[in-house]
Structure 1
Amino acid sequence: MKATMKELYEGERPYEKCLTCGSKALSDKELLAVLLRTGTAGENALELAGRILNLPGYQGLAGFGRIPMERLLKLKGVGKVKAVQLKCAAELALRMAKAAAGERLCLKSPATIADYFMEELRYEEQEQLIVLFLDTRNRLLKEKLMFKGTVNASLASPREIFLEALEVHAVHVVLVHNHPSGDPAPSQEDIQITQRICYAGELLGIRLLDHVIIGDGCYCSLKELEILPEGKEEQKVCMADG
């Protein structure tokens, strides 16, 4: 016979443990059990939480955030209410991570740009191209998802990007996109897209500052790799200023 939550010793119950020791004392499984509150017939909330965290293809906390709603609904013991609660909890965690990274965000720093988008993009199964539109002082005017799917030269149209830039009166743009493979090394297609957008921007007086590619916990900056046409000149200026 499996013990219900009430039958567990008080120190083993996640809710009571949190009250006594604080949330940091709880394991991942215990934290999830608190959100679930109840289990199902023959399975308490802790056991249900463990089963969710060990779901094939979605193991651990990183996997938990990627479980599709339809997959959650198929799990025994997870109805519509629990599925919505779990998806909202995962989304809230993602937004909290992004908000924390936003406090350190410097739009001149590829590392902080990568940090800002890392948790949002590193687990995406499709490529996404996000464009940041900046003013003359490199302050963010707007952030917009421009393309989703295979980001190639035919889809990543400079026209759509710069129509948006002109609408918000941007003078600089930064490209951010992810590689679902986890390897952020730029492909030849990435380089071609970057060059096309860079040259189109020069004609309009809107400068492409960087193209940051997000991998799994790592990133690549085409500015740092000196792939942007003006990259080498800009680096000389920075060295002279330093």
Structure 2
Amino acid sequence: MAHSEQSTVPGRGIGSVIARMRALAEALPDRDGVAVFNRVYLTVTEAVDTGISSGRLGEPAQAAALDVRFAARYLAAVDAAAADDRPPACWRPLFRCRHHPGVTPLQFALAGINAHVGHDLCLAVVDACRVLGCAPEELEDEFDRVGDLLVALEEQIREDVMPGPDLLQVADPLTHLLGCWSLDRARDGAWSAARALWALRGLPTLAGEFVQRLDAGVGLVGRMLLTPLPLPRTGRTVVPSPGARAR
């Protein structure tokens, strides 16, 4: 991984997070699985920044606190992988399979979203609550608004990257594989996990075990999403990842 990936996020604002992800986008090859997810996540973060600036995301301080801490979890995983450390279990499948020729861009994007929403989001909610001195329920509106953006983005990703509709047969391995995962369910699970983890904040040993089990479970789903598929058949092409630049 390029040296530029190893720098920490300067400052604490959304602008610095966006700058870091843009630097990653420039440093990584387009077909790299981490680059595919990074482009997706950059789009989300830019949309959140616009929403906060326009007032569409409610209380700016709460929305920014949640978004920055959410992004920091992903960037910490990037830094760990770049330093040859072990990132959280939820992220390991993506980093291990990032160059696999049998994994499609859509799989990379959804595996990253799975790790980030299934594991990182609940921890980001708790982090933000500690900083803001509030309970998760006070961040529910911001959580829902960011979640709505993620759902809209996932729908766009599927449209942009999924093979043409004539190829989406029930028996198609990609169709079957991706039908086993739902962003809505992952988001609901993240909210429940955040509330449970907040309730366990006075029991650090139990809270640590809860996070460890959550991490392992999300990692298992990530490995499933990144199952290598047969090489493209005649007439079937793997569509480039969304936002990919010509090189």
TM-score, with length taken from structure 2 = 0.31
Greater gyration radius? 1
Quick one: higher RCO (CA 8 Å, sep 6+), 1 or 2? 2
Pick the structure with more helix per residue.
2
